[in-house]
């Protein structure tokens, strides 16, 4: 069960929902089955070697849309078995079927996850959207005791406006939002809901400014925390630590040294194959990426060669060098 009462959900999140969260990938074998040992190996590396504060499980990077309900439940269990109390967990229960959302939510709650997150639903008829979304999240929050985070990207050609989010945030166990919209919208929502709703977005590029200018406490992100770092090269963790401590000039200096890594990742990522590219990059890092699962497409040999060339020249360190030691000292 959750470590708090429903009435304490906001307070618990304000205290514990902080730091860098990474969206976990799901490694698959060549036959399409889940590579459970590969997943466990990744989890140990992400937590023990990279010091990631929390995991976002079964999101889009985790290819939840290609997994069965049983597989998604099992992945929740594997994550909690491996990480124990060494990091926080937020389980994606997103689905087009509300019964599936609730079944996953109850499972996450029963096995001891910290929070769940639910993507705004696909709406094929964009009429009275605000009312539909308010009722959607009200019903989910009413049915569950665990803290619930909203997840919104304009994937379905509508925008969940800040004012609507603020209304939903009045519910006692709505605790956070991953709000991948323009800065004006998420800055407005931050100001409107401070102390009630933890706001974050997926962009690593704006993480430092969101700490310094908006007072953000969590990066509820995608894959950069384990694709842009190694056991001996943790510049993302370091610039985050510096920014949280108010040492902004030092933080910017460290952050900017990662620009070649950002460029390498972005410039070689096919628009239709983000998961495949990131999994291959993970393989190059010594993690377990593996193939993607249908209906997605794997990288071609030409695409892999471009990723490998960019990876080799991006400057990530696998041994402690004087330059890296000085940056993180």
1 found inside a domain: no
81 found inside a domain: yes
CA dihedral 20, 21, 23, 25 (to 10 degrees): 80
**For 217-262, how does the pLDDT look when each residue is reduced to its tens digit (9 = 90+)?**
999 988 999 999 999 999 999 999 999 999 999 999 999 999 999 9
Average pLDDT for residues 101-124, to the nearest whole number? 96
Say what the pLDDT of residue 325 is.
Answer: 53
Q: pTM value?
A: 0.94
| Per-chain mean pLDDT for the chain | 95
43 found inside a domain: yes
Distance between CA atoms of 10 and 20, rounded to whole angstroms?
A: 19
**For 5-34, how does the pLDDT look when each residue is reduced to its tens digit (9 = 90+)?**
999 999 999 999 999 999 999 999 999 999
Total of domains in the chain:
1
130 found inside a domain: yes
- Helices (H) and strands (E) counted in the chain, each on its own, are 15, 8
207 found inside a domain: yes
Neighbours of 194 (CB within 10 A): 12
Average pLDDT for residues 264-289, to the nearest whole number? 97
166 found inside a domain: yes
**For 281-295, how does the pLDDT look when each residue is reduced to its tens digit (9 = 90+)?**
999 999 999 999 999
| Nearest residue to 253 via CA among 189, 307, 326, 315 | 326
**For 171-199, how does the pLDDT look when each residue is reduced to its tens digit (9 = 90+)?**
999 999 999 999 999 999 999 999 999 99
Query: 């708090």: which residue's tokens?
Result: 4
| CATH number assigned to the domain comprising residue 124 | 3.20.20.70
Domain around 119: 6-327
pLDDT at 326 > cutoff 80: no
């Amino acid at each position: 069960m959750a470590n708090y009462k429903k009435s304490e959900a906001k307070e618990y999140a304000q205290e514990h929902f902080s730091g860098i969260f990474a969206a976990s990938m799901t490694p698959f074998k060549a036959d399409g089955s889940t590579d459970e040992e590969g997943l466990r190996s990744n989890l140990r590396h992400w937590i023990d070697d990279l010091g990631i504060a929390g995991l976002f499980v079964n999101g889009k990077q985790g290819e939840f849309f290609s997994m069965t309900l049983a597989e998604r439940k099992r992945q929740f269990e594997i994550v909690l078995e491996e990480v124990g109390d060494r990091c926080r967990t937020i389980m994606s229960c997103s689905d087009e079927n509300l019964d599936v959302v609730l079944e996953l939510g109850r499972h996450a709650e029963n096995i001891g996850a910290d929070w769940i997150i639910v993507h705004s639903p696909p709406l094929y008829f964009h009429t009275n959207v605000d009312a539909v979304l308010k009722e959607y999240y009200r019903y989910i929050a009413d049915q569950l005791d665990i803290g619930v985070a909203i997840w919104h990207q304009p994937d379905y050609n509508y925008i969940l406006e800040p004012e609507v989010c603020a209304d939903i945030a009045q519910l006692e166990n709505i605790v956070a939002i991953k709000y991948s919209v323009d800065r004006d919208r998420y800055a407005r929502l931050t100001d409107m809901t401070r102390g009630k709703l933890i706001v974050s977005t997926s962009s690593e590029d704006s993480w430092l400014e969101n700490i310094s200018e908006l007072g953000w406490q969590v990066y509820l992100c995608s894959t950069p925390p384990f694709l842009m770092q190694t056991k001996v090269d943790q510049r993302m963790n370091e610039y985050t630590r510096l920014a949280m401590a108010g040492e902004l000039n030092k933080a910017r200096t460290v952050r900017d040294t990662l620009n070649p890594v950002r460029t390498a990742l972005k410039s070689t990522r096919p628009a239709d194959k983000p998961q495949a590219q990131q999994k291959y990059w993970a393989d190059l890092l010594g993690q377990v990426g593996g193939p993607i699962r249908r209906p997605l497409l794997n990288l071609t040999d030409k695409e892999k060669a471009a990723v490998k060339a960019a990876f080799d020249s991006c400057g990530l360190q696998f041994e402690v060098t004087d330059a890296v030691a000085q940056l993180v000292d």
